[in-house]
Structure formats: C-alpha cells, structure tokens
Amino acid sequence: MDMSTLTEEDYYWRRLSDDLSLKDVMPATYLDLHYQCYEAWHANPLAAAIIEMTLSFVLGRGVIVEASNKKVQRLLRSFWDDPANRMDERVYTLCQELALYGEIFVRFFVNAYDGSVKIRMIDPSLIDVIETDPEDVETPLRFHRRPVGQVADTATILSDPQLLAEPLNMDGVWFTAGSEVMQFAINKVSNAKRGRSDLATLLPWLRRYKDWLTDRVRINKYKAAFLWDVQLTGADKKTIDRKRMEYSYPPEPGSVLLHNEAEKWTAVQPAINANDASEDGRALKLMIAVGAGLPEHYLSDSSQGNRATAAEMGLPALLRFQRRQNVMKTILRTILDRVIMEAQRAGTLGRSLDTSYQVDFPEIDVTDHQIIASATQSLVTALTQAKAQGWICDETAMRLLFQTLGVEVDVCVERHEPRF
C-alpha cells in the first residue's frame, strides 16, 4: 500500500499486510501513536483536560477497600499502604496511563517468605511482542520486553570486572502472563492484542485545533501592528536621507508630532480581512468533543444550549465514566486477589477465612435530585387527593409512589402487615 496516498487518519488504522484477521496496527505505527499521544498530553491543553477529566470522574477523591474479615482487611491495608506500592496515589497512575496508552502492564514482585506483593508498571511502548493461545487470542501466554538498561554503572563494573568481558543482552526479556505480568487493555476489539488510547482518534483534530488557535493569535497580533508613513513634499534625495536618519527611531506612544505642511504623517495598518471565525473553531472543538465522548460545555464552551440541554448532553459521558469505573474495579480486584492468594500460599493468611471484600468508587450521580424532589412532592399531593376522593387505597398509592421512584419495596412489610 502506498502510504503517500493515505490521509492522516488512515495512517493509524491501515495495515501493511493482507491478513484481515489481524486488527492491531504495525509495531512502528503503534510506537509512533504512543509517542504522539504522550506528546499531546504534555503540550495540548485539550488533550490534558480530557485525560484529567477521566481521572476526576472515575476516581474522584479516591477508592475505598473494605474486607469482611479483619485479618483480610489488615492484609489488604498493609499492601495498600506499603511505601513501595502507595496505592492511594498509584490508582490515579493506573487510570491515567490506561486512558493515555489504552493498556497497562502490571508486574508482580512476590516475597517468597511472607507472600507480600509489590507491583510496578511496565511502559507499554517497551512491550513489542504478545504471544497468545493459538486457539484463543484473548488468552495471553507471555509478553516480550525489548532490552532496556543494559549498561551497568561504574561502581558495579569496578566491583565486578568480569562484567567488562560479558556481552550485553540484546534479546530482551520474556514475562509469563498472569504470574509475572498482567495486561489490561481498553478500546479494542476481541481479536486484537493491543489497546487503543482515548486520544488516538482525536490526534489529528487536536493538532488542527491547536494550529487554528495559533493562526488566530498571529492574525490578531498582525492586525494590531502598524507603521508610520511619512510623506515629504518637494524633498530631494538628500533631504529624504536626512529625514530617514532623523526618524530612525519611531516616536513613543502618546508623543506629539510637530511638522510643517511639507510633511504628512499617516499610520498604516495591514489590511487583514479576517472575519469572525468562531464557528470554524467550534466545529473543530465539536469534532474533538464527539471523539472524546464529551459534551461541548465540558471543554469550556458554554455558549451553546441551556442548563436542561447541558444536563441531557452530559448523561452519555457520565455513563462512559461509569463503564471506566467498572474497568478500574476489575483491575484492582485482580491485583488484590493476587495479594490474598500469595498470602494464603505463604501461610500468612488462613485458607478457611472469608476473603470477600468490596472496592468502592465515588458515585457518579446522573440524576438531578432537585427535579426528583419536586416531582415527588407533586406526586404525593396528587395521590393524597386521589385517596381522599376514594379513588385509590393506601396500598395502591404506596405502590405507585415507590414504582415512580424506582425503588422495590414490599408494601405489606412497610405497613407491618402480614402477607396473604
């Protein structure tokens, strides 16, 4: 395929092979995509805001882990608060890099004596090969990390001179999936091995919007620029040269110009006919908002619509963040299950104990409590009037009230009456 004929968007999603069963991009393209997403997150305010917004909605003020058994709770708290893990901070890193790279690789370090677990993250850009079950692409077998950190420091070489004679390992390292490293990926189809960044489809539009804003700044800067045109009546070359030397420095702002009728001073501005281009910028930002699954007002554009419209537009975004919470809950439960398993294997935690626990995320409330309260008050008033007219009984009124609120309540139990 001729890459010169492809557009900027096509470049990231067209394979160079004819194997239609493979849905991952080529490794070189994948690395370039990682680099551009990382660069956009560093240099583009919109890209940084999209990632930061995901963290704020998904994690909020943090995650709470509570176990039913006290011993299990102490074990999980010990892992969570371990200075080597710092899970209160690491959960944000996990969520951030998952959104930024589309996948994370978590490496486990287990103490064989007490079963304590420490985790570290591997840069997804360093994982160049993922081997999966030939019959099941969703089951990884091992991950290959390209060689890193092959040069020993001076102190290590002086303490062991044999290192000078040993060749550097350029083969990289293989990690066993599950026991050593676990992969968590988002934004991928079932027959793909690699995840996709939340910013991947936005990159061309983030770049265009940034370029558009830069051009507008330049235009406005040049529109404010001017120069002085001095016209000398009946002056010869000698007079013009003398005036050029005299006026080599332009007059300061607010100064007064005094001259006779032989000179004419005129302020000349560039004729840049740049009309209002706000709609052009809004169209670019709207493309970014659609790709990120966010309403316009989330990206600092509250000029369109009203409060009711904004509330309706925000619902899909909040549901998207709730789905990401489920992904993060799966990641944390996988890590915590490994902590419990290793403690049981080392004998520091009994196998007969209740190891159940809860991972609680901050609630993303998609309802408007003020509207619900107002509607409930109106409904109660209507049901009271209907009961007074003899149209309905107390049980029916209660069923209608709870049904409207979406709450399952046994009316007989609520009224302390026996069921028949």
The answer on 377 and 239 residing in a single domain is no
pLDDT at position 1:
46
- The last residue of one of the domains, among 158, 183, 198, is 198
The secondary element (H helix, E strand) that includes residue 139 is strand 136-145
State pLDDT tens for residues 226-256.
Answer: 677 778 887 888 887 888 887 777 777 777 7
Q: Under a CB-based contact definition with an 8 Å cutoff, are residues 395 and 389 in contact? A: no
Is residue 351 situated within a structural domain?
no
Is residue 13 situated within a structural domain?
yes
The answer on 174 and 102 residing in a single domain is yes
Bridge-based pairing of strands 64-67 and 357-360 is antiparallel
pLDDT at residue 155 greater than cutoff 50: no
The answer on 232 and 181 residing in a single domain is no
State pLDDT tens for residues 42-67.
Answer: 998 889 999 999 999 999 889 999 99
Share of the chain above pLDDT 90, in %: 36
Q: How many CB atoms lie within 10 A of CB 127?
A: 21
Share of the chain above pLDDT 70, in %: 76
pLDDT at position 165:
52
Is the alpha carbon torsion for 235, 240, 242, 243 positive or negative?
A: positive
pLDDT at residue 83 greater than cutoff 60: yes
The answer on 132 and 14 residing in a single domain is yes
Residue 205's contacts (CB-CB under 8 Å, 6 or more residues apart) are 284, 287, 288, 291
pLDDT at position 152:
43
**Residue range 268-290: average pLDDT?**
71
pLDDT at residue 166 greater than cutoff 60: no
The answer on 177 and 243 residing in a single domain is no
pLDDT at position 144:
93
- DSSP class of residue 250 equals P
Average pLDDT, the chain: 80
pLDDT at residue 153 greater than cutoff 50: no
**Residue range 148-163: average pLDDT?**
50
The answer on 117 and 18 residing in a single domain is yes
The answer on 247 and 104 residing in a single domain is no
Is residue 16 situated within a structural domain?
yes
Is residue 37 situated within a structural domain?
yes
State pLDDT tens for residues 327-336.
Answer: 999 999 999 9
Distance of alpha carbon 101 from alpha carbon 104, whole angstroms: 7
Give Rg (Cα) of the chain: 33
Residue 24: alpha-carbon gap to chain centroid: 21
CA-angle at 418, arms to 414 and 420, nearest 5°: 120
The answer on 191 and 74 residing in a single domain is yes
Least reliable range by pLDDT among 99-108, 157-166, 280-289, 405-414 = 157-166
Is residue 301 situated within a structural domain?
no
The answer on 56 and 10 residing in a single domain is yes
- Look at 220 and 186; give whichever has higher pLDDT: 186
pLDDT at position 150:
47
pLDDT at residue 16 greater than cutoff 50: no
Is residue 27 situated within a structural domain?
yes
Distance of alpha carbon 124 from alpha carbon 34, whole angstroms: 9
Domain span including residue 184: 3-198
pLDDT at position 126:
92
Least reliable range by pLDDT among 10-24, 140-154, 255-269 = 10-24
State pLDDT tens for residues 361-396.
Answer: 988 765 555 666 677 778 888 888 888 888 888 778
The answer on 240 and 193 residing in a single domain is no
**Residue range 92-118: average pLDDT?**
94
The answer on 191 and 70 residing in a single domain is yes
Number of domains in the chain: 3
State pLDDT tens for residues 69-80.
Answer: 999 999 999 999
pLDDT at position 272:
60
Q: Which residue has the tokens 């809860």?
A: 358
pLDDT at position 283:
79
Q: Which of 29, 185, 35 is nearest to 103 (CA)?
A: 185
pLDDT at position 66:
93
Measured torsion, CA atoms of residues 291, 295, 298, 300, in degrees rounded to the nearest 10: 90
Is residue 282 situated within a structural domain?
no
Is residue 407 situated within a structural domain?
yes
The answer on 36 and 139 residing in a single domain is yes
Distance of alpha carbon 420 from alpha carbon 402, whole angstroms: 21
